[in-house]
Structure 1
């Protein structure tokens, strides 16, 4: 099961290398994050090894799509003179959020159990996705991953 997210990530990475994201990048990103949340809920509720492995494979694939869009936007939408600083802050927040999320999930799992924690994490992902789609309509409507700022 530990390798399943990596298998999904590798598979979608190879697909994206051959067929890059062309249109509807914003919707694709939010859809991938929502799919990540749904797959997390399925994994949390699953009592079947094949279903759990499939759900974790989808988690890895969906995560890569989200990361590709977000990373591309940071590089393409940031002015040249700010790119290094913005990328550094972005990486700091990504690394920190992963560590804090692992701590939070482990603590919650110790208190209420692994299944409720996984399901709550998936539901939380869906709620945040819906909120961000409403708060950031320009990002939701983003079509192509291309530079738009003039330096």
Structure 2
């Protein structure tokens, strides 16, 4: 039976690190999570237990740790939000290291609709940097997916 777990910044960070470890290394190990998050292994074990109770990971004591489908989806969503924010900040001229660091903080607090608007704006700014009446054109693009007719 799954218990409900509030998706906090900490939980999302664990899932994001675990996703990257599973994707890049093929395995998830307590020591690697601890190293990536700069926490002690006993803290990782406690987090894994909570994530397991919420069916976000599966694990065997001293054995394999794997993200479940649900955990994988949440991690992908967090990473997607991170990438959108980082891209948006980079368009504003923020250097990549700073954009990456700040995206990590912002990904946990911004609403999905805000993230979607940032993505649309970033896409629009890349596609139509010289658009006439830039903001009016953007709002039209946001709504209809194309530039307004300027006949």
TM-score by length of 1: 0.28
Structure (1 or 2) with the larger CA radius of gyration: 2
Question: With CA pairs under 8 Å and 6+ residues apart, which has the higher RCO, 1 or 2?
Answer: 1
Q: Counting helix residues as a fraction of each chain, which structure ranks higher?
A: 1
